[in-house]
């Protein structure tokens, strides 16, 4: 049974509703899955995965503020929900909050270090917050794992470009009009 001590009929009904919600999500009947998962997470608030699925459905529907709230609640209740961290990071990126996305995506990558999509999203978020060194590390990791993926090389190029821009600004501050400065300007 889904809930210990619950009457058998209620347990069967909730299990059936959970199957319907999952099928609706798989079939991209997003509004239906939102309705079903909202009912399930209200009936079974102790099951964090239901709140995670509700958050994922809201993300797929483009309801990013709601998605971020539901996914935050889910991972706060169960930090082992890797998919919750991934979708939370994606929601934060959509909301223009890359600093919060970095935290969520780092949690995801710690739980699932191999999936390339999480590494890619983390690299992109790191670039957005100006952490070019860690972004370069993530993209180099991806380049080894997926050498034929153009998106990886594009991200690596963006990270190096950001690092180079920052290095030039620093050179301009500490040694303006030096030989190195003129050399870079000439190039």
Band of pLDDT at residue 9, cut at 50, 70 and 90: low
Residue with tokens 């990013």: 64
Q: Which helix (H) or strand (E) holds 78?
A: none
Higher pLDDT, 180 or 72: 72
pLDDT digits (tens, 9 = 90+) for 64-74: 999 999 999 99
What average pLDDT score do residues 52-72 get?
97
pLDDT digits (tens, 9 = 90+) for 134-152: 999 999 999 999 999 999 9
Q: What's the distance, Cα to Cα, between the start and end of the chain in Å?
A: 70
What average pLDDT score do residues 25-30 get?
92
Q: How far apart are CA 152 and CA 124, in angstroms?
A: 10
Computed on alpha carbons and rounded to an integer, the radius of gyration of the chain in Å comes to 22
Which pLDDT value is given to residue 136? 97
Q: How far apart are CA 33 and CA 11, in angstroms?
A: 19
pTM: predicted TM-score of the whole model, two decimal places: 0.85
CA 6 vs. chain centroid, Å, equals: 35
Q: How far apart are CA 128 and CA 94, in angstroms?
A: 12
Band of pLDDT at residue 11, cut at 50, 70 and 90: confident
Band of pLDDT at residue 180, cut at 50, 70 and 90: confident
Band of pLDDT at residue 24, cut at 50, 70 and 90: very high
Which pLDDT value is given to residue 2? 41
Residue with tokens 């993209």: 139
Say whether pLDDT at 3 is over 70. Answer: no
Of 155, 106, 164, 115, nearest in space to 135 by CA: 155
Which pLDDT value is given to residue 175? 87
Residue 63: DSSP 8-state: -
Q: How far apart are CA 87 and CA 84, in angstroms?
A: 5
Q: Is 176 left (phi over 0), alpha (psi -120 to 50) or beta?
A: beta
Say whether pLDDT at 63 is over 50. Answer: yes
Question: What sign for the dihedral angle of Cα 39, 45, 46, 51?
Answer: positive
pLDDT digits (tens, 9 = 90+) for 78-118: 999 999 999 999 999 999 999 999 999 999 999 998 888 99
């Amino acid at each position: 049974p889904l809930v210990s001590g619950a009457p058998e009929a209620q347990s069967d009904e909730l299990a059936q509703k959970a199957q319907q919600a999952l099928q609706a999500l798989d079939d991209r009947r997003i509004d239906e899955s939102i309705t079903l998962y909202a009912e399930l997470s209200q009936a079974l608030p102790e099951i964090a995965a239901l709140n995670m699925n509700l958050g994922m459905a809201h993300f797929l529907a483009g309801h990013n503020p709601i998605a971020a709230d539901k996914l935050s609640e889910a991972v706060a209740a169960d930090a082992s929900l890797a998919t919750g961290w991934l979708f939370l990071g994606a929601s934060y990126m959509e909301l223009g909050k890359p600093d919060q996305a970095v935290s969520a995506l780092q949690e995801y990558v710690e739980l699932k270090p191999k999936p390339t999509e999480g590494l890619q999203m983390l690299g992109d978020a790191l670039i957005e917050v100006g952490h070019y060194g860690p972004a370069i590390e993530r993209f180099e990791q991806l380049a080894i794992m997926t050498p034929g993926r153009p998106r990886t090389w594009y991200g690596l190029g963006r990270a190096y470009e950001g690092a180079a821009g920052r290095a030039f600004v620093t050179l301009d501050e500490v040694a303006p009009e030096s030989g190195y400065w003129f050399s870079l300007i000439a190039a």
